[in-house]
Amino acid sequence: MEVYDSLILGHNFSMLFLISENWVRVSSTLSSQKRCTMKTKLGISFVAILGFLVISVPMFAHHGNSAYDMSKTVPMKATVTRFEYSNPHAQVYYDVTDDKGNIEHWVAETTNPAMLNRVGWTRESLKPGDQVTLFVNPNRVGAKVTFLQKVQLADGKELTTQKAF
């Protein structure tokens, strides 16, 4: 201990730190920094969490059904052209013949495959060429994109999405 005392007396103590019995010089700017108080740490944490939440809110915005008129359910006789059973939403691409005999290409989206699995859907539930009746909520602005509620297959079997939510 006497050796350490003599070293301390000969040098500026605030510039030296003992690290596993070795003396190391540290800049005086590092040693003169003040510690943060608990209130400061809580304030910084609060601001960081609040900032994260503000930034992350738009990520959840696209999961709403505000683009669709959920008060109306419209049946559409259709021919399935493609069925994408993938995240974040399963999608049914289908063709509809309008009053003039023209073919229109439409898309119906629904929930994710994991939720659809719970109510009996599989990757093979719909195949290109299947003649079906889709019960959908129309788009509010008239786009040919709908929200799928139920599918009635040609044999009368129904696949619903209602209980998946």
Can you read off the two tokens belonging to residue 88? 């974040």
Task: Give residue 53's pLDDT.
Answer: 74
The CA-based diameter of the chain, rounded to the nearest angstrom, is 104
Whole-model pTM above 0.75?
no
- CA atoms of 45 and 48, how far apart (whole Å): 5
* pLDDT tens profile 20-60: 445 555 555 555 556 667 778 788 888 888 877 777 665 55
Contacts 24+ apart (CB under 8 A), 21-25: none
Give the residues of the chain that fall short of pLDDT 50: 1, 5-6, 8, 10-21
